[in-house]
Structure 1
């Protein structure tokens, strides 16, 4: 055990894949937060009574496994080039606004370059995995407490990626800090300094979240790509009561 695992605290918070590596050995539950847009999309789908089978972009084995399990494959919903991003018109995609009418019972295969990858890593490490966002922050906090018992809970803010070189280093993002803070705010006891600060930051701006989300770098990027509706959906704090849990590789209620 090391200080990087935030030992001694019941509620812990870190960033990205490295955060999963640091916290997973010490936490019974990991809450992955990718507000724009993977975990928001999972919330919308599960709220419709459907399920999500996530996999990383480029993971052809996982994609084949999803298809073998009868999943309907969704598109990315966003085309990104060196000059900018443009929303596509796929019927069902990673965009939450494309899934507000998905039929109950649907098993949706959903590739994700960030949130889906983090969920897979967290599950491989043996943790119970929840998909958290602003929409379901209170519900996810309550479910995390239920599932963890007296064991530690880790919150993983996914962050975004700089488009700098092939490695695309982590860019800590406002939307995921707010989402992680909203969940930490619902976990009031035993917070590490990292979780405490995020919870305090969220509480300070809780009445301005949609505005801040729209004005953030990520929100502006998506709006310019034609995805303003997705940003609006993502900013509806506690509009959902579902807490998606990853069981046998599938997110359901």
Structure 2
């Protein structure tokens, strides 16, 4: 154990891919990517679909989707798909954007590659923990499920964060929408006696901002980026706190409703 693992806490929180590795000893890991991957997963599963998360910029993504029988989506934002080298299958408008999936036919199996939530979900699957996808929409439902699954074991919440796009290494950019999503989950997890300082502070932040969550998400850098890109509907969907009771559970590498 090291201090980075927050080993004295039964509810832990750490950011990004390094956070997945640091919290790998948890019984349950909840990946949070409010804008937009875990919101997209919530919408897709709420429509009766399933989602295969794939690492970003992995040349094996297209082949992995084909082998699994999943339809590979693209990001839905100009330029991003070219960077990743991804191409969606023709004949549909399904993308990484949650607003594109509000009429998804039941039974649809999507493969989604994203630099944050999907990449972290694929990494979390390798830790041996039970992996859930949490967001503002399903915070209470996922928090309750995490507590039930973990029992006396620790729960780790991993806000994905965003990326600085103008840096060569695309470093992690913590986003307030992720802090709010992670805080909503931390505030809702029942029966935790020794949350870490990181988890406690996230919960306090969420409680202080709860009446203004849609405003703060829309005014965040990530929210303004999507609004200016013409996908304000994604921001509205992502800000609807507890609008969903879907619990996305990763089983054999695929998210399906628990």
- Distance apart, 1:66 and its partner CA: 1.8
- Local SS of the residue matching 1:108: strand
Q: Map of 1:72-221 to 2, 5 A cutoff? A: 72-80=71-79, 91-188=93-190, 189-221=193-225
- Distance apart, 1:40 and its partner CA: 0.3
In the other structure, the counterpart of 1:70 is: 69
Any stretches of 5+ residues in structure 1 without a counterpart? 82-89
- Distance apart, 1:248 and its partner CA: 0.6
In the other structure, the counterpart of 1:10 is: 10
Q: For residues 215 and 164 of structure 2, what CA distance do their matches in structure 1 show?
A: 23
TM-score by length of 2: 0.92
Q: CA RMSD in A?
A: 1.4
* Structure with the bigger percentage of strand: 1
Contact 1:55 1:63 in 2 (8 A): no
Q: Which is worse superposed, 67-76 or 31-40? A: 67-76
Q: Map of 1:12-51 to 2, 5 A cutoff? A: 12-24=12-24, 26-51=25-50
- C-alpha deviations, 1:209-239, integer Å up to 9, x for none? 0011101111001100001110000000000
- Local SS of the residue matching 1:35: coil
Any stretches of 5+ residues in structure 2 without a counterpart? 81-91
In the other structure, the counterpart of 1:85 is: none
In the other structure, the counterpart of 2:256 is: 252
In the other structure, the counterpart of 1:231 is: 235
Contact 1:13 1:195 in 2 (8 A): yes
- Distance apart, 1:165 and its partner CA: 2.6
Q: What count of residue pairs does the alignment treat as equivalent?
A: 245
Contact 1:67 1:109 in 2 (8 A): no
